[in-house]
Chains A and B, each alone.
Chain A
């Protein structure tokens, strides 16, 4: 499965909140690295950089490098996709994430951002970390 992990997942995970689902999500990818492909945009990288201290950001960056993840450049995302998601009612920042997911052919966006959930007609599935892990057969705790 090709996945976009939203910034909130990385920030909670690399900010060391073991009580929250994103920490388990990161551990899951390490345990089963061949089952999914992670894609992300420079927007996500910048959001993580702005919300974590440098040491935690460095760990996030090194972690993604180990998975062979190369951030998608903004120019690689068609402006028409951004306009499409803005017209669909997403805020500009969220529209950029949705456009990246569609441009990269993502199957799902793992996010705790409620603005993605409950929407219909998206070409990818918005999933919370807990939902994703449950689908993969990972039990909580």
Chain B
């Protein structure tokens, strides 16, 4: 183990002295996230046209909500449906981006839940639907409190007002299962950019072995009284730590600076580890199929960019079962975006764990391929 740590520490020390690595791993994703966050709202509005289904069990609020969304908000495809099942089915069949469900008890004094059912592949539209529901809840609550205040106005005992203000919210927003996979704009960009650049930085760390091979230092390591496995593990550990530290810094920085909401810590850690593993697997395969560091860097950049675009790090991929939706499933970024979405929303642990396992699987398969081709990596034939 001493040798493994020695190699890891040597690689990490080199990483720390490599300004381009720090730029790529931390500065660039952070800067781009900040820039895009400041302009992303307008950018999204220009082409954003979600479709909503509204079901109102009371029959009192729905028509005016639909009219408001069409006339004032400018949404073209908003429809009031007769049953809750019809609204949910529209989302499940990819006919609608989200369903807003107004329960029967909304007009009563009992606390009730407004539900938003979002399309798993359309996080942005779901986020908008949640915002609409929040606004609706806020207005309704204000109205109820005002009414309560009027009633209470006839009562001279101030304690009665204190009781009213201490009442729990009358309407509570509950995001349904499908709508749980939500990333708000800032977090979406933070997650997307972090993942996009993570693949670059981890790949660069893994591809360092090609540089060592080119410079002859790998041969020197191989001649030393050190097991081949120790060299492999030491360098792998350094690449993994590089990626995890970069991811950790970005999570903290975007949370503190931009107010990004990454969700549960365990989910962030699990998905970050999975992302690093996939990036390492990809880098390792690239290292076995390219001859020079320059070639590997260029090829790796292209692969990381294509996978990132396909995986929706810059814009959401609509989960409509279309060819892009299906094709994007080969990208670890797609699974990671979904996992982080579930983790940031109120997704179940399974919604986070399953994507993480898929990405770990991708990393495992790629790593296995690289191991089978390791002779190409070391030049020992």
Q: Does B associate with A? A: no
Which positions in A face B, CB cutoff 8 Å?
A: none
Interface residues in chain B, defined as those with a beta carbon under 8 Å from any beta carbon in chain A: none
